[in-house]
Structure 1
Amino acid sequence: MGETSEQAGGTDRADRVHEAEQDGEKLHAAGPDGEDVHAAGPDGEKTAQAARRRRLAAWWASERVMVRAPMDRPMGERLAALAADAGSVYDVDEQPDLYGDGIVAELERRVAALLGFPAAVFFPTGTMAQQVALRCWAGRTGNSTVALHPLAHPEVHEAGALSVVSGLRTVHPTKEPRLPTAGEIQDLAEPFGTLMLELPLRDAGFVLPSWDELVAAVDAARERDAVVHVDGARLWECTPHFERPLAEIAGLADSVYVSFYKSLNGLSGAVLAGPPELVEEARVWRHRYGGQVFQQYPAALTALLGLERELPKLPSYVAHARVVATALAEGFAASAVPWFRVHPEPPHTHQFQVWLPYAPDVLNEAAVRQAEETKTALFRVWSAPAAGIRGLSFTEVTVAEPGLEWTAEEVRAAVEEFVTRVLEAHS
């Protein structure tokens, strides 16, 4: 599966569940109103695991899907594929890495060049990379306050690690479900040392600002004597929206973190890129945080494969996601559902949200039945919103290589089949 361990120590299971869902995976089953059945104890855990096994079996057997998540594949198959492919991106007759040299150092060099930075450092998790980056910037600016969105990853998925582990505090320029504007950054009532921008903002629907809005936000932070750090876990797929190369987008910031498992199908791992002095300090803090891992060549190999094979395809995924999103909206508009939302429309990346006015259990049952009965997996996991609004659910749609095969007509037909099962279950 994806790197569900990318959470700080002690992270609540629900947080790990939500982070895993970036690939459509969900490790718990929802009860009638979307509650986590694990709260019911061992019996709930068994029910959740049975539901997960059923979903995985249905997804794996489906002939038509939007994405083939690497976590769906058995370990043996992934290992065999890695052994077969690794030689195409690195000399596998070389010795494995030791504490970050060899192939890990080569990965750092390649990513630094891609992002247009002079240096980069590999981390086992993105959570650790960002904790270290923000801590280092706090020391350099003399201000331990970080301005970021309340839906940003450190606020939602890291169990308060910024304050508990790193001694930092946060302020929010806006609560709107979008990136903060230049005006909001300028009007923030107290000083801050670092502005952190998550591009795209996943929990708001994988949303991005316009290029001019992004430049203005960065300029506003500079006017406040702050540095800018970009949470670029999914930065790889932002180039079509901004119509700029990666290096130009990343170059707006003082430092950038990127992930290898979210869009590039890597096993795990992340890189923090920035000026050499920051990167060298980050290496020291990586050791202190427990990230000086003895050997990481499997993760590094899959990262290199992702850069070689997946990165060039991402623009085509983004383009087709817009086709899929339009067809989904048309399909729901023609159906008997009382309300729906595709957000954002059009999508800013190859991932977006779909909202429906039904409880998660109804939609999850309809989704898995459609996959089992038609071999077509249109949606993966539906969840209740964080606010816990009863009778409302959302899912995240990812369009990857298998999704390119779907025509708009086929999407609309699949929506009709899905809605039929929803109404049957809801009646």
Structure 2
Amino acid sequence: MADDVRVRRIAAMRGCDRILDGVRPKSLRERLAELSEAAGPELMPDYYGDGLVGELEDRVAGLLGAEAAVFFPTGTMAQQVAIRYGADLTGRSTVALHPLGHQEMHERRAYADLTGLRSVHPTAAPRNPTAAEIAALPEPVGTVVLELPMRDAGFVLPTWAELTEVCEAARGSGARVHLDGARLWESAPYLGHSLAEIAGRADSTYVSFYKTLGGLSGAALTGTTALAAYARLWRHRYGGQLFQQWPAVLSALVGLDRELPRVPEYVRHARTIAAALAQLPGAVVFPQPPHTHQFRLWLPHPAALLNDAGLLLAEEEKVWFTGGWRDTEIPGHAVTEVSVQSPALEWGTDEVIDTGLRLLDRVQN
């Protein structure tokens, strides 16, 4: 049943003329055509990490102001290597993580099961830890992980001063700082500093190529040349030394060329969209204004009704509003994540409100 709904949802989104949340799903033929156009007639595939992979690694290292970057097939693998490096380098088998962080919520605690590390939680508040909380840790840690932005807290970011202070506190305790920057691309406008300046606060940074940039898959880990050498060794041991990765790498390069320059525009327009959504009956938007181009929206209706209403709106009016609603601990209230990207730039305040009211009419009926 879930697969049937997913197929129906993709078909509905592909048929929409207007999309507020997310982007129109592409078919295999469309993705292949996009890659073919970007490749040109003379570009050759990579072999075990050479050629095009090296080009992407150099590009990302330059963007983040790092000595080196290493391409990984997944961010989960990249992050485990970064945390393992911190433990080996410092001799400390404990890592400071947030309970809402990606390692705890979405990586099945691989740092513990695969590497044998332990975690401590500097805070349970829905934000990154502060310098005082790092200084108050009950035991030495090898790595302090900061997620920018913190997705499961609502895509929230610290201020530049807070980020600087917590990084200094971590280093003062003898720990490395690792940035879980899967969505680092959209963090720069709020922090008011370049990607290189943000990554420069830390010892290592992970970025994703399919989040925000629209790549097929893949990630990069940046840092020193020593980290890069270590990362290549452990990437192979973890099974990440693939024979050819050119589809993912080429799509990442396309994303850097086409999407990355537009991210500040997405972030700016997210504030307009969020303010409009907040005017719907019973709506709550967080954070307000958004820190990035993504934020959370609550409505006082069950998730099933909202998902059904959104699907009907798409099929009947060819307009995609939002989807992916899930029930919360508050009875009768549901939450979703809104992602403002290229299609949403066409939406103004009045259209958001009018379409939202039509969605709610379907919920009530």
Bucket of the pairwise TM-score, normalised by the shorter protein: over 0.9
Amino acid at match of 1:48: A
Amino acid at match of 1:56: I
- Identify the residue that residue 247 of structure 1 maps to in structure 2: 196
CA distance in 2 between partners of 1:124 and 1:56 (Å): 25
Amino acid at match of 1:300: V
Amino acid at match of 1:224: S
1:361 aligns with 2:315: no
1:201 touches 1:208 (CA, 8 Å); kept in 2? yes
Q: After the TM superposition, which residues 280-291 of structure 1 pair with which residues of structure 2 at under 5 Å, given as runs?
A: 280-291=229-240
CA distance in 2 between partners of 1:389 and 1:288 (Å): 45
Q: After the TM superposition, which residues 181-220 of structure 1 pair with which residues of structure 2 at under 5 Å, given as runs?
A: 181-220=130-169
- Identify the residue that residue 96 of structure 2 maps to in structure 1: 147
How many residues align structurally? 365
Amino acid at match of 1:154: Q
Shift of 1:68: 5.1
CA distance in 2 between partners of 1:158 and 1:68 (Å): 24
2:128 touches 2:157 (CA, 8 Å); kept in 1? yes
1:391 aligns with 2:344: no
CA distance in 2 between partners of 1:105 and 1:261 (Å): 18
Residue-by-residue CA offset, 1:204-238 (whole Å, 9 max, x unaligned): 11100111111111111112111100000000011
Q: What secondary structure is seen at the aligned counterpart in 1 of 2:138?
A: coil
Amino acid at match of 1:394: V
Shift of 1:389: 5.1
Of residues 145, 168, 171 in structure 1, which corresponds to 2:120?
171
- Identify the residue that residue 82 of structure 1 maps to in structure 2: 35
Q: After the TM superposition, which residues 205-284 of structure 1 pair with which residues of structure 2 at under 5 Å, given as runs?
A: 205-284=154-233
CA distance in 1 between partners of 2:357 and 2:48 (Å): 53
List alignment gaps of at least 5 residues for structure 2.
none
Q: What secondary structure is seen at the aligned counterpart in 2 of 1:396?
A: strand
Q: What is the aligned-residue identity percentage?
A: 55
CA distance in 1 between partners of 2:116 and 2:70 (Å): 22
CA distance in 2 between partners of 1:391 and 1:141 (Å): 49
Residue-by-residue CA offset, 1:15-65 (whole Å, 9 max, x unaligned): xxxxxxxxxxxxxxxxxxxxxxxxxxxxxxxx1122112211211111110
- Identify the residue that residue 377 of structure 1 maps to in structure 2: 320
CA distance in 2 between partners of 1:375 and 1:381 (Å): 18
- Identify the residue that residue 285 of structure 2 maps to in structure 1: 342
Residue-by-residue CA offset, 1:165-209 (whole Å, 9 max, x unaligned): 111111111111111111111112222111000000001111001
2:23 touches 2:341 (CA, 8 Å); kept in 1? no
CA distance in 2 between partners of 1:69 and 1:419 (Å): 22
2:22 touches 2:340 (CA, 8 Å); kept in 1? no
Amino acid at match of 2:59: R
1:67–1:421 CA distance, 2 compared to 1 (3 A) = closer
- Identify the residue that residue 43 of structure 1 maps to in structure 2: none
Q: After the TM superposition, which residues 271-350 of structure 1 pair with which residues of structure 2 at under 5 Å, given as runs?
A: 271-330=220-279, 332=280, 335=281, 339-350=282-293
CA distance in 1 between partners of 2:276 and 2:167 (Å): 35
2:66 touches 2:224 (CA, 8 Å); kept in 1? yes
2:21 touches 2:320 (CA, 8 Å); kept in 1? no
CA distance in 1 between partners of 2:38 and 2:343 (Å): 20
Runs (4+) off by over 4 Å: none
Amino acid at match of 2:325: W
- Identify the residue that residue 111 of structure 2 maps to in structure 1: 162
Residue-by-residue CA offset, 1:237-272 (whole Å, 9 max, x unaligned): 111101111100110000000000001110110000
1:180 aligns with 2:133: no
1:406 aligns with 2:317: no
